Copies of this chain bind each other. A is one copy, B any other.
């Protein structure tokens, strides 16, 4: 699961979207907290390793930041990468911006 390089691909998976939902409802959760709350609040019964790998993906694209304290690792959502995503196509047509945009 290491090939995901941009926020678009990161958002393609429903489990990762639900993780962002959970972090929006309660930010700064640990991996175990997330596993428990995803199961009870979202009927999502993924394994710990699966959720951990999803968090790695979300962190690699900047949608989640982590903060380590002892043996705990807290995960915080960062919505900054979300803003340019949709605005890319909401610009008024007719004004050719020139090149190929950015990401490809």
Contacts and interface: CB of A to CB of B under 8 A. Distances in A.
Contact of A21 (B9, B26, B101): B101
**How many copies of the polypeptide does the oligomer hold?**
2
B14 A12 contact: no
Interface residues of A, number: 33
Contact of A100 (B43, B77, B101): B43
A12 B8 contact: yes
Given A24-B93, A85-B85, 19 more contacts: A8-B17, A9-B12, A11-B11, A11-B85, A12-B12, A14-B104, A17-B104, A21-B88, A21-B89, A21-B101, A24-B89, A24-B91, A25-B96, A25-B97, A42-B100, A43-B100, A77-B89, A79-B86, A83-B86
